Structure 1
Amino acid sequence: MKRKLITAIGIASLMVSVAACGSDDGKDSTSKGAGPDSFKGQTLRVWVMTGSAPEQWTKDLQAAFEQKTGAKLKFEEQQWDGIQQKITTSLSESNPPDVLEVGNTQTPAYAATGGLADLSDVKQAVGTDWTPSVSQSSVYDGKQYAAPWYFANRVVIYNKKIWAQAGIKDTPKTRDEFFKDLDAIGKKTDAEPIYMPGQNWYFFDGLTIGQGADLVKKEGDKYVSNLDDPKVAKAMEIYKKYASYSQAPKDKDEANPQQAEVFAKGKTGAFIGMGWEAGTAIKANAAIEKDLGYFTIPGETADKPEGVFLGGSNLAVAQGSKHKELAKEFLKLALSDKFEGELAKLNGVIPNKKSLESNLQGNVVAEAAAPGAAVGGTTPLIPEWAAVENDPNPIKAYMTAVLKGKTPAEAAKQVEGEINKRLAQQN
């Protein structure tokens, strides 16, 4: 599932403008009322990222699509490396792929260029009950420019052996209970209670979501930093408390070193990460597998989990597609309960409807992640945000500054100039 994290966090370059190109090839791009042979002779091209579409899922969907429409369906697998520029270029050309998988937080940037088609009619057909928190990234300027496809978020991955040594019998249901458990591990075992590097910034983003905070605010016609918001400061103080139980470096993120490999040594009580990181830990030390456990990141109260960053993918139709109506028929089928449920079951990803989460039963990681979907969110859904995450990420600098002694207000002031400069780059 490593690909799913990359979907969300690989936004490191600015999007460039694309011109919406859309001439018809005369082959019934506006056909209505799909049925057998409605689009006979057409071929729909769909770009999906490596690993996103299981072989069985694509096989089943191709058969159903061709039976329904009479058209051919061609999946073209793409690599994550360099995909943003490749999509940007394709959307400006006269023959783009008809349907594209795009990262959820990348969607506003593509929509802003005019490169994506309006899918409001698809939402009315199959998406009226999409989970609001996962659907919001597919909306830009009030219009539905994509459809939510799948998502993943962070969970607590813990060492059952260490927790048992600390006398902990049940997993925590609230944040305070979690801190008490970390206290117990620190006092009753030789283990590091939790591994929490100073710059695990997507976990911090989840905490801001949990506080109802925004990382940017609008002043006039432009966006500026909102790190000086007391709610953001509260989220950072919560993060600081987590970090107080850790010996991890304050100026590194979760990949440097890879936190799962640190955890694999068997001397750490827990870490907060993506489900695929459990596999990384097992690869580093196969013996750790028997001690692995998972639970939802607890929030302030037992009835509401902690806010989480929802990383994942949307499906969009190119504005320049010569087969827009056929593309919409594909989306209605691919996003139907049958195929959305099958994808969740095969890939262990969070589906776009809460009613379909029953397909995750038996997948312990997905079951731990699913409760966070309803209260999760993303980074700011504005085209300008992509530049903020470019290295060196000023949000990470803010976090390190707080952990090294500055107040959240002081740290915010230290980086807000750089954030505002980056937010202004696309104005």
Structure 2
Amino acid sequence: MKRKLFAATCVAALTAALAACGDDGSGSAGGGNPDSLTVWLMDGSAPQEWIDELNAAFEQEHGVEVNVETQQWDGIQDRLTTALSEDGTVDVLEIGNTQTVGFANTGGLADLGEFAEEPWSPNMLESGQVDGTLYALPWYGANRVVIYDRSLWEEAGARVPTTREEWIEALELIDENTEAEPIYLPGQSYYVLGGFIADEGGSFAVQEGDEWRGALASPEGEAGMDFYAQLQAFSSSPTDNDEASPQQSTEVVPNQDIASWIGLGWEAAGAVAAIEEAGEQADFGYFPIPGPTADELGHVFLGGSNLAVNERAGNPEMAREWLRMATSQEWAQRYVDANGDGVVPNRTDVTAEPEPGSFAEAMVASAEVGFLPPLTTGWANVETVPNPIKEMMTAVLNGEDYASAAEEADAEVTTRINRE
């Protein structure tokens, strides 16, 4: 889930404030020793205490030393490609959930069908499967929520909404009764758009036989974009930038009167830290993205990571045993607890009981209506610069006819997504 390719979904940074253990990310130690195991985890994905306790328990039970090597998201796609083409470089590896299908299709990941009957979270399990075969196990998920300034909403007389209509009404009150920007929403937050399209029953692309085609030029796509445009009209953000350019959590929100914005947990934490560093106090509240009706919350992109075994692992038997322990009910529960309920659990028998009013409470509530982008190798091609979905969004927000902009984007999406 290389940031250049997956800027909107790189949710491992959700726990960026938590330290991971390991080396400098070079991955030079390698595997292949029957008395040791090499595990690659991404920077910030797991608290060091959890890793230390897990590996101590594993070593005591199996007599095998576990070497955890911390990897950086930047450049991980290339490092994984190299590692999976060599014997014994790494045994167990963390993979972004949108990456898994690509590496499985190259033959780099081992078949993990023996784990299929575990009570995995259904939404998260989908990203680890290819043609009915399980190649990676869910580890954690995370999604966006609405982050709002309590004092500004109170000043405006706005209430937390339960529907899209109520959301717009709240933003109108803020616009009328305060000097604040009602919502900061960049023109190209395309995974937010994806949720609105999913609310309508649509998708970025659909599969037809062995091929995929762009599906933006549809009533569902137009309805999703129409609502996005309604929200974006309350924002002073340019129409040609995304949430990372500039970084909304640390460069925009702490320096402007922003009444609300849509972000991930690590962004909320970053904004709080930046505001406090400036000598002020953050007063954030959180609520799930509302749906068209109060019956169901709005769909959200469910990002996260999976754990897989290298097909060319030096110690495949112990790799599976480590995976079995790490994703078991006991250790999955410990992982959720160690993260302070800041992640969506990977299993249905793991409970997350976040504090009332917390970011985690809003996030976990939305997880049941999480969506994923098309799970195919070619999706990474769609997300490369220039991203045709982002370009379509800017064109429409700037006044271009939706149908023509969507047809142009669909043609490019179709070309890219079917290219390996």
Query: Which TM-score band (shorter chain)?
Result: 0.7 to 0.9
Shift of 1:355: 4.2
Deviation at 1:289, TM superposition (A): 3.7
CA distance in 1, matches of 2:353, 2:333: 6
Per the alignment, residue 103 of structure 1 pairs with 96
C-alpha spacing 1:45/1:120, structure 2 compared with 1 (3 Å): same
Q: Tell me if 1:161 matches 2:151.
A: yes
User: Corresponding residue for 1:383?
Assistant: 377
- Quickly say closer, same or farther: Cα 1:43–1:364, change in 2 above 3 A: same
Residue of 106, 115, 127 corresponding to 1:113: 106
- Distance in 1, matches of 2:115 and 2:208, equals 34
Distance (whole Å) between structure 2 residues aligned to residue 206 and residue 354 of structure 1 = 23
Distance 1:289 1:201, change over 3 A: farther
1:398 counterpart residue number = 392
Question: Structure 1 segments of 4 or more deviating over 6 A?
Answer: none
Confirm whether residue 183 of structure 1 aligns to residue 176 of structure 2.
no
- Of residues 61, 68, 71, the one that matches 2:61 is 68
Q: Deviations over 1:268-315 (max 9, x none)?
A: 210001122223323443255432111111112223211001111000
Separation in 2, partners of 1:176, 1:356? 34
> Partners of 2:218 and 2:325 in 1: how far apart?
43
CA–CA distance in structure 1, aligned partners of residues 319 and 218 of structure 2:
43
One of 213, 216, 222 as aligned partner of 1:227: 216
* Alpha-carbon distance between aligned partners in 2 of 1:352 and 1:218, rounded to the nearest angstrom: 26
Residues 1:288 and 1:372: Cα distance change in structure 2 (over 3 Å): farther
Tell me if 1:92 matches 2:85: yes
Q: Which of 253, 263, 270 matches 1:263? A: 253
| TM-score, L = length of structure 1 | 0.86
1:387·1:423 contact (CA, 8 Å) conserved in 2? yes
> Which one has the bigger helix percentage?
1
1:404/1:6 CA distance change after superposition, 3 Å: closer
Deviations 1:143-197 (A, max 9, x none): 10000101111011111111011113x4212222111111111111121111111
CA contact 2:163–2:294 (8 Å) conserved in 1: yes
Shift of 1:418: 2.3
Q: Residues 354-369 of structure 1 correspond to what in structure 2 (within 5 A)?
A: 354-361=348-355, 364-369=358-363
User: TM-score normalized by structure 2?
Assistant: 0.88
What letter corresponds to residue 300 of structure 2 in structure 1? V
Aligned amino acid, residue 203 of structure 1: V
Amino acid at match of 1:300: P
Counterparts of 1:49 and 1:362, CA distance in 2: 29
What is the Cα-based RMSD across aligned positions, in Å? 2.3
Distance 2:174 2:71 in 1: 44
- Deviation at residue 103 of structure 1 after TM alignment: 0.4
Question: What one-letter code is carried by the residue in structure 1 that aligns with 2:233?
Answer: S
Extract unaligned runs of 5+ from structure 2: 12-30
Which residue in the other structure is 2:27 paired with?
none
Q: Distance in 1 between matches of 2:128 and 2:85?
A: 20
Contact kept? 2:336, 2:352, Cα under 8 Å: no
Q: Which consecutive unaligned segments of at least 5 residues does structure 1 have?
A: 11-23, 28-40
- CA apart distance, 1:354: 4.3
Aligned length: 393
